Amino acid sequence: AQSVTQPDIHITVSEGASLELRCNYSYGATPYLFWYVQSPGQGLQLLLKYFSGDTLVQGIKGFEAEFKRSQSSFNLRKPSVHWSDAAEYFCAVGGAGGTSYGKLTFGQGTILTVHP
Amino acid sequence: GAVVSQHPSWVICKSGTSVKIECRSLDFQATTMFWYRQFPKQSLMLMATSNEGSKATYEQGVEKDKFLINHASLTLSTLTVTSAHPEDSSFYICSASGKLSYEQYFGPGTRLTVT
């Protein structure tokens, strides 16, 4: 079964500082990986995704993530955080075949607080 | 493009009543729709997957008689919470994906409060 772990429940950074949110996954084959952002009381917005190819993926809002198969990780990064980035971030793994095809399993989420 | 709407955005109902939540894909044909449930400060848990014209597939532990899902057209899926109880209070989010597309587009969610 696929699973996702986000080790950090809450992260606080200063505006302008760099950011890295950790994500580790468990999946039997090459996974489909996603990062979503959720503002309070809102749905999810896709930041970026990895299906195959280049392991460094660029997303919206200046975010990027790197797929590292050897570490089963897909960490999200941003070089300079803006106050508007404060939100909750979810990493997800998608089933690539069989009965799990298309189904997303989400991590527990990381709440990002940005200090001015 | 790829906009998904949900209606209502929030609803309060009395215990024992039923509530229907609509999920619409506004600018694409959604061959598959997913329903998630999110408790406060927790992650999203997949409840069921529905394909247009077929019966929904429910995840383990989800009561199919309590959470009725209908996907009657390529742009509309509904989730009906029957005989709602306070423990059903939650944030319900739908998502949709198109034919030959893996990516899911999420609706804004519906906050259900059962009193």
Question: To probe the interface with A, which of B11, B37, B44, B91 has the most A CB atoms within 10 Å?
Answer: B44
pLDDT digits (tens, 9 = 90+) for B48-95: 999 888 889 999 999 999 999 999 889 999 999 999 999 999 999 999
B103 touches chain A (CB under 8 A): yes
d(CA B83, CA B96): 26
pLDDT digits (tens, 9 = 90+) for A1-46: 789 999 999 999 999 999 999 999 998 777 899 999 998 878 899 9
Would you call A104 and B104 a contact, using CB atoms and an 8 Å cutoff? Answer: yes
Residue predicted with more confidence, B20 or B40: B20
Would you call A90 and B49 a contact, using CB atoms and an 8 Å cutoff? Answer: no
Q: What share of chain B is helix, strand, coil (3-state, %, to 5)?
A: 5, 55, 45
